[in-house]
Structures are given as structure tokens and as C-alpha cells.
A and B are shown apart, each in its own frame.
Chain A
Amino acid sequence: MFDIFFSYPTFDSMARLATPLLFACLAGLYSERSGVVDIGLEGKMLGAAFGAASVAFLTANAWLGLLAGIVVAVSLSLLHGFASITNRGNQIVSGVAINFLAAGLTALLGQAWFGQGGRTPSLPAGGRFLEITLPFAEEMASVPFIGRFYAEFLSGHSILVYGAFLAVPLTWWVLFRTRFGLRLRAVGESPAAVDTAGISVTFLRYRAVIICGILCGFAGAYLAIAQSSGFIKDMTAGKGFIALAALIFAKWKPVNAMLACLLFGYLDAVAIRMQGQSIPGIGEVPVQVFQALPYVLTVILLAGFIGKAIPPKASGIPYLKERT
């Protein structure tokens, strides 16, 4: 029983399950910090997963697959930007549209190109990011505690997992220690002030949205060509929305985002292992409880019962430079 909650396999799968969430969550962070609400994370991830799997299958090169995933996600991001920044359309509506487009197009094109009911063929060797064993992992395994931690938890993930966790300090640094980050945060709070300072609101927001696309590309590629070996119809299965929940849970902060994603990844990992198990004294906890928990927690947080989640002030509001 104890093993389900506290064991290296559980923690391992927590890290793996948290990775796509973390990429997507940071993606949303850039976008929403600049004032562009993005509920299309799910669709971008799905599109990226499909692009990555298709190209990785055709070229047998995981890196080209990743690149393709990024290209797809950035294109969808630009569409979102065109609708919500240039045309000042409703950002929620645009996000919903992108989710539908991605869900439909990936399945449709997948069927038309590969004829396997919307999935892509299994990836050839080289088309997948494999687990990396960190140096000296085997030698360290016998060292108690630290060695085991290194060998069993830190070592043995795909490069994208490390990338996701490195993206956290990087994001923190970009947002809080660079000029670009300062402006990005400013444009999410008070675009008029940024505009008055002579900085283009449009260009800033477009850059934020493009970064969002790049990170969604990583998230999707991870799902399709690292975690699994190919694209499956609807393979994101709501992960984009969990990432969105994590973003709110993290109150739009990078380090919190990582912790939130780890928490949600942990819940997922435990849920998988809890199936058919019963906790002494409580009895069998239905899997659905664990599945619903991230959403329930987010709603409770949103309700202001655990701290208060306050979004960037200008998020969701298109910026109108002047009245003509």
C-alpha cells in the first residue's frame, strides 16, 4: 500500500506524467502573462503531437519530429494571435475553435495519410526520444539514499523531461530578470502604459504567443514521440485543460507551475496504481476521485478558499490603441 504513494516507480511516473503538463503550463504562462488567454493549449498540443509523430515516422528522426511539432503548434498560435490580437476577437472563442480544428484535422489527415483510423504508424528506430541513463547511474545505485535517488529517479528519463524542468528556471529568468520579461508582464497588466512608453503591444503579444506555441510543440512532441511511439487520436485527453488548471493553481508563476504540475502528475500516477486497491480503514477509493481531483482542487482555489488566484489584469481584453 505504502508503495503506491511513496516509491521510486511512482515518483518516476509522476515526473513523466508531469512533463507534458509542465511544457503546456509554461506555454500558457507566457501567453496569459502577456494578456492573451489561451484555452487552446489542448488543441496546440494535439496538433504538435500529430505533426511530430508524422514527421518522426517519415524521417526516422526524433529531432525533426520535434521541429515539426513546434511548427504546427506555432502556426496554431499565430492563428490565435491573428484572431485575438490583430482582429481583437474573443480569445475564449478563438481557443475553442483551435481545439476543434486540431481535434478534427489530426484525425482526418491521419486517416487520409496513414489509413490507420487516425493514428500514425509505429515509429521507426531513431524516431523516438529514448530514455537517457545519466553517467555513473549504475555505479551510484548501490550508494544508499542519494545514489538510489540519482539512479532511480533522476536518471532514465527522455531528454524532453529534463528540458521541461530546465525550462522552469529559464522561464523565471526570462520573465523576472530580462527587459523582455518585464515588458511582457507589463503588457499583461496594463497595455496602455506599455503603449505610452513607445513599445508595440501587438509585437510583444505576438512574441508571447509564439513562445507559447514553441512550448506547446514540446508538450505535444513529448506525448507522441517520447512517452508513446506514435500519435493516437485524441491522445492529449484533456491534458491541455489540466495544464490550464495547473496554471491557475500556480497563480501564473513559473516555480509554482512546476509544483502544481508535479502535484497533478503525482495524482495521475497514484490513480493508475490505485486501480483495484483498497486503503486500510477507508476502503477502495474509486479511480474517478483521483481523476477529478485536479479539477476540484483548481475550482476550490479559484473560489478563493486556498489563497486567491488573480489573473493578469488585462488578460482576455483585446487592446484598442485608439478610437477612430
Chain B
Amino acid sequence: MSAGQLPRWADLGLIPLLNLTAAFLVSGLVVLIIGENPIEVVQILLWGSLGFGEGIGFTLFYATNFIFTGLAVAVAFHAGLFNIGGEGQAYVGGLGVAAACLLLDRIVPWWVTLPFVILGSAAAGAAWAFIPAWLQAKRGSHVVITTIMFNFIAASMMVYLLVNVIGKEGSMQPETRTFEDGGRLPMLNDIFPFFDFGTAPVNLSLLLALLSAFGVWLLIWRTRLGYAIRTLGANATAAVYAGISPARIIIITMMISGGLAGMMAINEIMGSQHRLLIEFVSGYGFVGIAVALMGRGHPVGIVLAAILFGMLYQGGAELAFEIPAVTRDMILVIQGLVILFAGALEYMFRPTLVRIFTFARTPASSVPAAAK
């Protein structure tokens, strides 16, 4: 299976497109099995997610979460690490957000709170990623398994903390008190009054997410550290000979990854809920895996994939409303299929394509991004 038999655009554009098409075709098949019309489903999905201001607002709100968790998975991928712990890291990141907001929200305006929130969430997420990272780097415990375990440990810990320690007194709900104005990010509606996002909670964190995406691009492709990360991911042995310390890079990369996942909590907690509550992550950390795979680890791809998944989440909500048989669980199915086809079966179509291209003579000129 020698590489380079396919033109670059086919490898980077055509294969992902084929994989996605396969995922969506099978999703359509599932819809057919339930006895609904896939075309109608797609129409409702598109209309529900892009057809009106509030829909777009919700799409972007969800996309903000997915950009953070997608970047988190992608950064680790570049170092050859699989961080399945985004879910737990984001959950614990909520602690950092809540700590900053609860301490500051009554004294200072939001823009003073924000830097502390960013710091707090990233630090909390990074701290939660540190132990699995350290275990992988120093003791060789597989990071996939430890991060899975840490998701469950985080879930138990957060329930305990919210019920027994930081929860609002006298309340049956496991949640903190609601933040005052100093702990609330402005909605995009208030910053850009000419957009009408209705009641959608899309907020300033979207810009923060886009900045983070740019930051990740800078980090991975334009810095020394990024080079070390990519070297380690491509060939760990070569990295050692190049004077890179794998243990150090593993720990740093995982902490950056955890920090990014932790920042997802800013959008949910400071941007929308305005209080720390139980299970606010609700699977967004796992969506990051699909987003990172679909975006092929590149920030631009991740932003696009995050928007697509945002559309699925928002459109899926409309869909469950319009066609009760297609519940929101459909999103899980699509997510699974995207991970399957874009991830595990990534190279399924490659041998066939190679055959077709060798047969039809490889076109000499490369057309960048001809497909999508």
C-alpha cells in the first residue's frame, strides 16, 4: 500500500468526501428503516439549522462547544495520542469557570471576569488531563484507558461536589447559585444587534473558539513545540534521536488538549447556563472525536466539521419536533457512522481509487480542494 499513488487532492479531498457520503447514505438508510422519508429529513435538518435566525444561533452555539472539544482531540492526535477524556476534562473545566464567576461576578464586570474564567477553565481541564498524561509518559499506562477511567471519575466527583460541597444550599437541584451580570458573557445579539438570533444563547465564546482554532494552527504548524508534537506523532523513535523528550511532549500536549476541552465549559456555563450544573457536558466531549476525525486534525476542517455537527444538533432538535419518530438519538447514529467511516474505515475506498486512478492515468496537474 505505497503512498503517493493518489494525487494530493484525491487524498485530502476525495477520500474524506467519499467517507462522509457513505456515512450520510447509511444514515439515510436508517431513516428509511424507521419508515420516514430521508429527503424530508434532510430538508427539515437544513431548515431547522440554517433557515432562520434563531436556528443559526443555536447551530453556532453548539458549534462553539464542538470547536473546543474537536481541537482538544486534534492536538492530542498530532502527538499520536488519543484523548478520549474530553468529556471529563470539559466537565472539570466547569469548576474553573464556576470558581472564577462565583468569586467575581458581584464585584466586577464580565470583561474582568473573563480572563480569570479562561485561565480557570483551561487550568482545570489541563489538570484533569495531567494525571493520565503523566501516567502515559512516565509509567506507560495507555492514555486511552486512563482517560476513559477519568471520565467516570470526573462524573462521580462532580456529582459529589455539586451535591455536598458547592451546591446551592436548600436547593434540591445539584447546581450552584445563578451568576450575576459579572459572570455572564454577552450574547452575540447584544454585540451585533443587526443579527437576530432570537433566544439562541450564542455568545462571545464563539469568537474565543475561533481564536483558539487559530492559536492551535499557529501552535502546531508555526512553532518549535508544534514541530516537536508532530514529530513525536509521526515517529516517536525519530523524535528521540532528534533530541525531543517524548515524556515532556506527551505531558505538555495532553495538558493543552485538556485545557482546550476545559474551555468548552466557558460557552455552556458562563455563556448560556450562568450556573454550574450536573452533566452539562452531555456528550459534547465525545462529539469532539467525530469533529476532529472529520476535520482531519486541521483547525479549518475542525471549524467546518463543528458547524456541520452544530447543524445536526440544532436541526436534530427541530427534527424530533416535526417528525417524532426521528428522535435526537439520530444524531448519535450519524455521529457513530461519521466516526466509523471517516475514522476506522478511513482507507476502505483507497485501494479501489488507486486502481481507478492508475487505470485512468494520474492527472498531472493537481486541483487543490476540487472536492469540497
Q: Interface on A for B, CB 8 Å cutoff?
A: 39, 79, 82-84, 87-94, 96-105, 107-109, 111-112, 118, 238, 241, 244-245, 248, 286, 288-289, 291-292, 295-296, 298-299, 302-304, 309, 311, 323-324
Contact = CB atoms under 8 A, between A and B. Distances in A.
B325 interface: yes
B178 interface: no
A244 B146 CA distance: 11
Interface stretch (B48-56, B104-112, B149-157, B227-235): B149-157
Given A100-B335, A292-B153, 11 more contacts: A39-B148, A93-B293, A97-B336, A100-B339, A104-B333, A105-B30, A107-B327, A107-B329, A244-B145, A299-B150, A304-B141
Nearest to B23: A97
Contact of B344 (A97, A105, A238, A241): A97
**Which of A96, A98, A309 counts the most chain B CB atoms within 10 A?**
A96
B344 A108 contact: no
23 contacts: A39-B148, A82-B345, A87-B348, A92-B82, A100-B335, A100-B339, A103-B332, A104-B332, A104-B335, A107-B327, A107-B332, A109-B34, A112-B34, A244-B148, A245-B149, A286-B160, A291-B152, A299-B135, A299-B146, A303-B135, A323-B1, A324-B1, A324-B2
B159 interface: yes
Contacts of B164: 286
Contacts of A93: 82, 289, 293, 339, 343-344
B150 A108 contact: no
Contacts of A39: 144, 148
Interface in B125-183: 131, 135, 139-142, 144-146, 148-150, 152-153, 156-157, 159-160, 164
Contacts of B346: 89-90
Contact of A87 (B141, B150, B286, B347): B347
B344 A299 contact: no
Contact of A105 (B145, B156, B333, B340): B333
Contacts of A112: 34-35, 325
Q: Which label, helix, strand, loop or mixed, suits the secondary structure of the B interface?
A: helix
A292 B157 contact: yes
Size class of the contact patch on chain B: 35 or more
In the A-B complex, the 6 residue pairs with the closest CB atoms: A104-B332, A100-B336, A101-B336, A94-B344, A104-B333, A89-B344
A311 to B, nearest CB: 7
B344 A84 contact: yes
Given A87-B348, A108-B327, A112-B325, A97 B343 contact: yes
B309 to A, nearest CB: 12
B329 A101 contact: no
B289 to A, nearest CB: 6
Contact of A303 (B141, B152, B340): B141
Interface in B163-217: 164
A96 B339 contact: yes
Contacts of B148: 39, 241, 244
A118 B329 contact: yes
A87 B332 contact: no
Nearest to A292: B156
A89 B340 CA distance: 9
B266 interface: no
B84 A96 contact: yes
Given A100-B335, A324-B1, A304 B145 contact: no
A87 B345 contact: yes
Contacts of A289: 156, 160
Nearest to A241: B148
Nearest to A79: B340
B153 A295 contact: yes
B331 interface: yes
A286 B286 CA distance: 28
Contacts of B149: 241, 245, 295-296, 298-299, 302
A216 to B, nearest CB: 17
**Which of B1, B141, B331 counts the most chain A CB atoms within 10 A?**
B141
Contacts of B300: none
A309 B141 CA distance: 8
Interface in B253-300: 286, 289-290, 293
A83 B160 contact: no
B244 to A, nearest CB: 23
B311 interface: no
Contacts of B340: 79, 83, 94, 97-98, 101
A94 B343 contact: yes
